A and B are shown apart, each in its own frame.
Chain A
Amino acid sequence: MAEKITMAHGSGGRSTDELIDTIFAKEFDNPVLDAMEDSAVVPVTGKIALTTDSFVVTPLKFRGGDIGRLCVCGTVNDLLMRGARPAWLTCGFILEEGLDIGLLKELTASMAAAAKEAGVRIAAGDTKVVEGHGGMYINTAGVGIFPKETSAAASGICASAARASDAILVSGTMGDHHAAILSERMAIETDIESDNAPLVDMVGNLLASGLHIHTMRDVTRGGLGTVLKELAAASGKTFTIRESAIPVNPKVRSFAGLLGLDPVYMGNEGKMVVILPEEEAQQALEIMRKSRYGSQAAIIGRVTEEKPGELLMETDIGGLRRLDVLQGEGLPRIC
């Protein structure tokens, strides 16, 4: 096989078959995919959760992860946030001409490993080749199922369900993924790693605990500020968080300072917000901290009624800051 992706790999002919056989089918090995039919048929009973996401990150590999791991975690976490158990994924690859085939293999293997960790199977896929400079994009769609024993507790979990006197928790440090990606593009040496991770264990433990979770949401683009503002708006409640309680890796804080960014608006790929009754907060916190990727979970605030849709932050010096969703793109500034 050639070293680089060419237009022939997207022709649907022999080169395409070769690519599928030697890379995708090999890595994603499972009976549903191996049938190589026009569509995958999977057994499901009851309601399902459906989601899709596209991944366009550059560079393709970064400290702590790569686009392969990312495209599994992102979709898996979206399914989890509704209380579903991720079961099946599909993936669409858009490869640019010139992509290194060795790299494609490596990224596909990483994708397969992440799928294994998350307990999902890749049931269907597609590959296209476009002109370009050796990059790649991946779209994944996912199906999640609601196992009988959790469906009652999980069914009401949604963005608008926060109630007055609920507690707000996050599962760990903010801004890690954003900082890891930016550091690859800027001339700043650091060992900050992306937090891209599937939160299967944590969500599974939370759901199994029988706690009355009102809202779960993964903290991705736009960061904690954006996610909480959206949840405050959706529920019509006031969210008040404490600056001092928000976990931020000191390295990430310092990195953000160098570029004039605010960790509250920096994205993650393996963190979540949980909102549930205050009296259950301590128990939820313990469960999160014991779960994989949750050792730095924290209770960061509470829900009240007085200012519908507002997100407020009690600052370290005792001020009150009103937060909005991320405005603009979060570009590094200097001046």
Chain B
Amino acid sequence: MMTLDDVKAWLKNYDGPSMRIMEVCGSHTGAISKNGIPGMLSEKISLLSGPGCPVCVTPSAYIDRLIELAMRPDTCVVTFGDLIRVPGSSKSLALAKGEGARVKMVYSPLDIIPLAKKDPDTIWCFAAVGFETTTPVYAALMDELIRDDIRNVRLLTALKTMPEVIDWLMSSGADVQGFIAPGHVSVVTGADIWKPLAQKYSIPFGVAGFEGPELLAAIAGIVMNYGRGVVKNYYPRVVTPEGNRTAQKEIDRYFEKADVVWRGMGKIPGSGRVLRPEYSFFDAGSRGLDEDHKKNKACHCDEVLTGRITPRQCPLFGKACTPVNPQGACMVSTEGACLSWLAGGRE
């Protein structure tokens, strides 16, 4: 049995092989900054922020398409708050709003149902971004739409899946010796989903929660398993080995695997989901949104997202690229690696 103080002392005094550990969940990135964790670790342990913010990895073509929809007189785009300021190839939804685009911010995708019922003459289009955690919510929304025969709701999807992008990162030679596995993705997928990757690359995966002590414990556990292809579940209060089977079935009912584009990384096989053809009525044109123009050529979001550089190593960081005038998506969401590092003063 170790106490929290034991773990803290162990992490601070660790003197084994150097380890670069990547977190691939924006909420982990945020929690690490918020708890001041980087300063609690030995110099032999460094934390990197991977592609863990779904908003940050949407390609510019997706934002452009959203803006095009929002500018239509009969359409209103409904979205989570942090997507509003992500730059497309020329502007963001926030800027388009100033030019007359209709955009509404909500807490839950299900909030679109009362909107659609109240105003049947408008097409309500949800900006359906997310990883495995959020995809079942869209599936549940589809259930409701079909059951209540609501015909004026569409989804513009940018749904991504985590294992494929981690595989892509590792096979592209990322210098990473362990992963903090995303806690809430794992609630849906189950902790076992990381096993093939852990074994393939002989690196430890630790599923972590979001409280400071949970994260410290997970980091210690990952370091202790250096070089071993194991998966450890440090978030057992909600994560099981097999995940939420009902949610997985719901996802499969409405969405099929697809090759999708990640901002700055290009197309990664099987790394996303789109509505199945039989539900294309509900699709606002999500397929083929592959173009990915950088607003600023000097933006290094892609290298940040893949852990090749830290946010502070980007020449635009905090200078030409700020939260007020973001050049890349990583500076937009509070979960984005760059904004999280800037706001948290992470070095």
Closest to A323 in B: B345
Asked whether any CB of chain A lies closer than 8 Å to the CB of B339, the reply is: yes
Interface of A is mostly: loop
Interface string of B103-132 (1 = CB under 8 A from A): 001111001000000000000000001110
Asked whether any CB of chain B lies closer than 8 Å to the CB of A331, the reply is: yes
List CB contacts (< 8 Å) of A288-335 with chain B.
313-324, 327-329, 331-335
Contacts A188-B107, A259-B107, A317-B213; A335 near B335 (Cβ below 8 A): yes
Asked whether any CB of chain B lies closer than 8 Å to the CB of A260, the reply is: yes
Closest to B25 in A: A335
CB atoms of A315 and B36 under 8 A apart: yes
Closest to A259 in B: B107
CB atoms of B134 and A335 under 8 A apart: yes
CB atoms of B36 and A321 under 8 A apart: yes
**Which residues on B sit within 8 Å (CB–CB) of A323?**
343, 345
B29 to chain A, nearest CB (A): 12
Contacts A319-B212, A321-B34, A324-B345; A187 near B80 (Cβ below 8 A): no
**Which residues on B sit within 8 Å (CB–CB) of A260?**
27, 30, 334-335
**Which residues on A sit within 8 Å (CB–CB) of B111?**
187
CB atoms of B134 and A334 under 8 A apart: yes
A183 to chain B, nearest CB (A): 10
A contacts with B, residue count (CB < 8 A) = 28
**Which residues on B sit within 8 Å (CB–CB) of A324?**
342-343, 345
**Which residues on A sit within 8 Å (CB–CB) of B63?**
none
B2 to chain A, nearest CB (A): 15
Task: Report the separation of the CA atoms of residues A186 and B33 in the bound assembly, to the nearest whole angstrom.
Answer: 27
B contacts with A, residue count (CB < 8 A) = 45
Interface string of B19-50 (1 = CB under 8 A from A): 00000001100100111110110000000000
Task: Report the separation of the CA atoms of residues A323 and B33 in the bound assembly, to the nearest whole angstrom.
Answer: 10
A260 to chain B, nearest CB (A): 7
Contacts A186-B106, A187-B107, A260-B334; A331 near B81 (Cβ below 8 A): yes
Task: Report the separation of the CA atoms of residues A315 and B131 in the bound assembly, to the nearest whole angstrom.
Answer: 30
Asked whether any CB of chain B lies closer than 8 Å to the CB of A17, the reply is: no
Task: Report the separation of the CA atoms of residues A321 and B344 in the bound assembly, to the nearest whole angstrom.
Answer: 7
**Which residues on B sit within 8 Å (CB–CB) of A317?**
4, 8, 35-37, 40, 212-213, 216
Asked whether any CB of chain B lies closer than 8 Å to the CB of A53, the reply is: no
Asked whether any CB of chain A lies closer than 8 Å to the CB of B178, the reply is: no
Task: Report the separation of the CA atoms of residues A32 and B40 in the bound assembly, to the nearest whole angstrom.
Answer: 62
CB atoms of A320 and B335 under 8 A apart: no
Contact of A187 among B35, B54, B108, B342 (CB under 8 A): B108
List CB contacts (< 8 Å) of A267-292 with chain B.
none
CB atoms of A335 and B53 under 8 A apart: yes
**Which residues on B sit within 8 Å (CB–CB) of A321?**
33-36, 344-345
A213 to chain B, nearest CB (A): 29
Task: Report the separation of the CA atoms of residues A329 and B111 in the bound assembly, to the nearest whole angstrom.
Answer: 22
Task: Report the separation of the CA atoms of residues A317 and B7 in the bound assembly, to the nearest whole angstrom.
Answer: 11
Contacts A327-B343, A332-B81; A262 near B107 (Cβ below 8 A): no
CB atoms of B34 and A320 under 8 A apart: no
Task: Report the separation of the CA atoms of residues A320 and B345 in the bound assembly, to the nearest whole angstrom.
Answer: 10
**Which residues on B sit within 8 Å (CB–CB) of A333?**
55, 80-82, 333-335
Contacts A333-B80, A334-B134; A319 near B345 (Cβ below 8 A): no
CB atoms of A315 and B81 under 8 A apart: no
B10 to chain A, nearest CB (A): 14
**Which residues on A sit within 8 Å (CB–CB) of B183?**
none
Asked whether any CB of chain A lies closer than 8 Å to the CB of B311, the reply is: no
Contact of B37 among A258, A319, A328, A335 (CB under 8 A): A319
Chain A interface residues (CB < 8 Å from chain B): 185-188, 258-260, 262, 313-324, 327-329, 331-335
- Could you name 22 residue pairs across A and B whose Cβ atoms are closer than 8 Å? A186-B107, A187-B108, A260-B27, A262-B34, A315-B35, A317-B36, A317-B216, A318-B8, A321-B34, A321-B345, A322-B345, A327-B334, A327-B339, A331-B105, A332-B107, A333-B55, A333-B82, A334-B81, A335-B55, A335-B131, A335-B133, A335-B335
Chain B interface residues (CB < 8 Å from chain A): 4, 8, 26-27, 30, 33-37, 39-40, 53-55, 80-82, 84-85, 105-108, 111, 129-131, 133-134, 212-213, 216, 322-324, 332-335, 339, 342-345
